[in-house]
Structure 1
Amino acid sequence: METALIGLLGVIVGVFINEILRRKSRIESYASRVFDKRLEIYEGLYERVAACSEIANNVTSNEDYSFGERLIAVSDGVHSIVEWCDIYNMYLNDEIVVHCCPLLMGMEDVYDLEDEAEKKIALERFYKNLRNAKEMIRKESGVEDINKLFSKITKAKHSSPIIKYYREKKKRGNRD
C-alpha cells in the first residue's frame, strides 16, 4: 500500500514538474519574438518623440506661424504619438505612454509669452521632459542595457574634450 502511494505521489509530482517546465519553455520560445516586436515598436515611438524637438523649435521660434498654424503643428505631433501608442498599447509601458503623449502640449503658447524668463523656463521644461522620454524608451526597450553590455565586452575607452565635458555634465545630473 505504501509503495502504491509513493508511486502515485511520484507520478503527480512528475506531472506537476513537467507542466512547470513546459510553461517555462513556452514563455522562453515567445520571449525572443516579443522582444523583437517591442524593440520595433519602441523604435517607432522614439522616432515620434524625437520629432517633437523640431516641432517645438519651429512653433517657438518661427515668427511666420500664426497661432492656428502652431496649434495644428503641435496637435499633429501629439496625435502622431497618441495614435502610435493606441495601436501598440499591448506592448508599451503605460507610464512611458503617459509621459510621452503630452510632451508637446502647450508648446503652441510659448511663442506668445511676453516674459522671456517664462519662455526660457517653458523650453527648459520641454527639453528636460524630451530627454527623460528618450531615456525611458531606451531603458524600457532594453537598448540601454544592451549598449552597456557591448561596452563591457568591447572595453572601448572613448575620449575627447567633448566627451569629457559630457561626462562632467552627466555626473552633475545636468545633461544640457
Structure 2
Amino acid sequence: MESALIGLFGVVLGLLANELLRRKNRIENYAQKTFEKRLDIFEELYSRLCACGSVGSQIISSPSLDPEVMHQLVSDAVHDMAEWCDLHALYLNEEVTLQCVSLLMGVEDIHEVADPDEKQKMIDDFHVQLRYTKNMLKKESGIEDVNKSFTKMIKARYSSPVIDYYRSMKKARRK
C-alpha cells in the first residue's frame, strides 16, 4: 500500500514538473518572438523620432519660416507620431509613447519668445529632450542592455582623443 502511494505521488509530481517545464518553454518561445517584434517596432520608432528631431532642428534654424508653416510642420509630425504609436500600442509603454508624441510640441513657439536667454533655454530643452527620448528608446527596447553584454563579452575598450573627450563630457553631464 505504501509503495502504491509513493508511486502515485511520484506520477503526480512528475506531471507537475512536466507542466511547469512546458509552460516555461512556452513563455521563453513567446518572449523571443515578442522581443523580435518589439525590436522591429522600436527600430521604426527610433527612425520616426530622428525624423521629428530633424523637423524640430529645421524649425529652430529657420526663423524666417512663416508661423503657419511651422505650426503645420509640427502638427503633421505630432499627429503622424501619435497615429503610429496608437497602431503599435500593444508593444509600446504608455510613458514612452507620451514622451515621443510630446517631443515637438511647442517648438514652433520658440521664435516668438523675445528674451534671448529664454529662447536659448527652450532650444536647449528641445535638444535635451530629444537626446533623453533616444536614450529612453534604447533602454526600453533592450538594445542598451544587449550592447552592454556584448561589450563585456568582447572586453573592447577603445580610446582616442575624440572618445576620451566624449567620455569626460558624458561624465560631467551626469554630475
Q: TM-score, normalised by structure 2?
A: 0.91
| Equivalence for 2:59 | 59
Point out where structure 2 has 5 or more consecutive residues left out of the alignment: none
| Equivalence for 1:83 | 83
Query: After the TM superposition, which residues 130-145 of structure 1 pair with which residues of structure 2 at under 5 Å, given as runs?
Result: 130-145=130-145
Distance 2:16 2:153 in 1: 40
Equivalent residue letter for 2:141: S
| Equivalence for 2:73 | 73
What SS does structure 1 have at the residue aligned with 2:102?
coil
Contact 1:61 1:111 in 2 (8 A): no
Equivalent residue letter for 1:158: Y
| Equivalence for 1:45 | 45
Say whether 1:31 aligns with 2:31: yes
Q: CA RMSD in A?
A: 1.8
Equivalent residue letter for 2:143: V
What SS does structure 2 have at the residue aligned with 1:89?
coil
Equivalent residue letter for 1:111: H
Distance 2:157 2:18 in 1: 47
Distance 2:63 2:131 in 1: 26
Equivalent residue letter for 1:15: L
Query: After the TM superposition, which residues 76-115 of structure 1 pair with which residues of structure 2 at under 5 Å, given as runs?
Result: 76-115=76-115
Equivalent residue letter for 1:171: K
| Equivalence for 2:170 | 170
Equivalent residue letter for 2:131: R
Distance 2:9 2:153 in 1: 48
Number of residue-to-residue matches in the alignment: 175
Contact 1:78 1:102 in 2 (8 A): yes
Cα deviations across residues 125-157 of structure 1 (Å, max 9, x unaligned)? 111111111111111112112222222233322
Q: How far did residue 174 of structure 1 move?
A: 5.4
Mean CA deviation greater in 28-37 or 113-122: 28-37
Distance 1:4 1:153 in 2: 52
Q: Give % identity.
A: 47
Q: How far did residue 80 of structure 1 move?
A: 2.2
Point out where structure 1 has 5 or more consecutive residues left out of the alignment: none
Cα deviations across residues 87-130 of structure 1 (Å, max 9, x unaligned)? 11111122211221100001111111111111111111111111
